[in-house]
Amino acid sequence: METLEGVLHFFTETGTEGGDWAFQDSQFIYTNTTHYACTKCNQYWNKEKDSEIPVFKEKDGFQKFCSPEYHDFELCGEMNWRYEGLHILKNGDQFIILKEIVKFSQELLP
């Protein structure tokens, strides 16, 4: 039996319907220093993957995002949950809660 410490949550992802109960291993929860979103147009920027601000081309005459020089990026969320620590729960998985969580932190939620 493997003992993990982390957060039980309902996992949903953009582009998928519904979601799944999942467990996030706390070893893969980090302070966010690389994931940004523009406060004006919500463009997402993962500085870890793209060192430069990604530029999206205008589509059908509709410009959804600001021009790169007009963005106002802020860190989106204090924490970054990495996929490596995501365990989608399956029928038959068993949990034993070893310690009662005294303080629930909204900051850990995506």
Site string for Zn ion, 66-95 (x = CB under 5 A): x----x------------------------
77 vs 108, which CB is nearer to Zn ion?
A: 77
Q: Are 21 and 92 in contact (CB under 8 A)?
A: no
How many residues touch Zn ion under the rule CB under 5 A: the total is: 6
Is the Cβ of residue 40 or residue 82 nearer to Zn ion in the bound state? Answer: 40
The reply to whether 37 sits near Zn ion by the rule CB under 5 A is no
* Binding region for Zn ion (CB under 5 A) out of 7-15, 16-24, 41-49, 54-62: 41-49
If binding is defined by CB under 5 A, does position 41 make contact with Zn ion?
yes
What are the DSSP calls for the chain, one per residue?
Answer: -----EEEEEE--TTSSS-EEEEEEGGGEEE-SSEEEETTT--EEETTT-SSPP-PPPBTTB--S--GGG--EEE--SEEE-GGGEEE--TT------S--SS--GGG--
CB of 67 to Zn ion, least distance (A): 8
The site for Zn ion (CB under 5 A) is made up of: 38, 40-41, 43, 66, 71
